[in-house]
Homo-oligomer: A and B are copies of this chain.
């Protein structure tokens, strides 16, 4: 295998000099691409995840078709709960459903203690195959959901606006919540180490539902477990991105969790976030994904605005503030990537 020909994202993550800003998009291997929909046709999301050839094929699509500076392995954050015994159904239009939610101490005790390498070997196979196929063109990102976010899906059993069951659990039975969070943290840590061994050059931890908790409860039930996981990855020398959506009020604390990069949603400006994080970390984001509905000209203007907001220094990875939406025209995604590549060139 060739060495990496484009390591911009790794250098930006480590705040080393870069010639231009690297760019990728969350959910870049997804439904907005007709080529993705063609592979997906007649297959379930989980079947795609569990078939390394298919996962590899769609992981490469945005690299070839859109020109992003990193591939992110096609998978889902809920493969860990599934391996632990959650009866999972992924309905892309509706969100995930878990038919046997975890609500009590005995539900937690009945969960399977997994071995990431063997129980999730299909993810490692997909990573190895993708790494081979990329042949050093761009880095490969591995990922996992954060313990708190995985807990909410396992406990609620479906997407939730109120997090009724998760909130009752942490308030009235905190010890049960902590047992589950610990079990998840060990599994995630092993899983991410295995991903790096299988070829991931960079790791992202998604805490999609960070905003469900106030900062004090987020510290106790979210952040301390992320910190444990990040710590366990330190020996590996791969940068870690933590994306805690909606957690602007915890950015300062997050910037001290050991991760090299923090992901941002669009509700905080890059310069304000840099201030709040004291320049301790690189920042990833934070183009509003809904602005990809606008015309390519308007997209280019908005890209320029974000690049100017950051300025010429290293430490910025261009991305959306959340996943790309399924009805965005692919040429708009290309316009964004091209604009970043063109307009961020350092003199």
Q: Interface centre among A162, A163, A289, A305, by most B CB within 10 Å?
A: A162
The residue that A168 contacts in the complex, of B172, B212, B294, with Cβ under 8 A, is B294
- Residue of chain B at shortest CB distance from A290: B167
Check if A338 is an interface residue, CB within 8 A of chain B.
Answer: no
Pick the interface stretch among A30-38, A121-129, A245-253: A245-253
Interface centre among A164, A246, A267, A325 (most CB of B within 10 A): A267
In the complex, per-residue mask of A244-269: 1 if CB is within 8 Å of any chain B CB, else 0:
00111110100000000000001111
Each complex incorporates copies of this chain amounting to 2
A341 to B284, CA, bound (A): 44
Question: Do A268 and B215 touch (CB < 8 A)?
Answer: yes
Contact between chains at B215 and A269 (CB < 8 Å): yes
State the Cβ distance, A322 to closest chain B Cβ, in Å.
10
Interface string of A285-319 (1 = CB under 8 A from B): 01011110111001000100100000000000000
Interface residues of chain A: helix, strand, loop or mixed (majority): helix
A171 within 8 A of B: yes
- Given A214-B286, A305-B216, do A172 and B294 touch, yes or no (CB 8 Å)? yes
A208 in contact (CB, < 8 A)? no
Known contacts A248-B268, A325-B162; A291 and B171 CB within 8 A of each other: yes
Interface residues on A, range: 35 or more
Please, how many angstroms separate the alpha-carbon atoms of A291 and B169 in the complex?
A: 10
Whether the pair A267, B246 counts as a contact (CB closer than 8 A) is yes
Which residues of the partner chain B approach A249 to less than 8 Å between Cβ atoms? Answer: 248, 267-269, 272-273
- The contact string, 1 if C-beta is below 8 Å from chain B, for chain A 171-200, is 110000000000000000000000000000
Question: Can you report 5 A-B residue pairs in the complex whose CB atoms are below 8 A from each other?
Answer: A167-B290, A168-B293, A172-B295, A215-B269, A246-B246
Is B293 within 8 A of A167, CB to CB?
Answer: yes
Contact A269 B325 (CB under 8 A): no
Contacting residues, chain B, for A164 (C-beta < 8 A): 290, 293, 325, 327
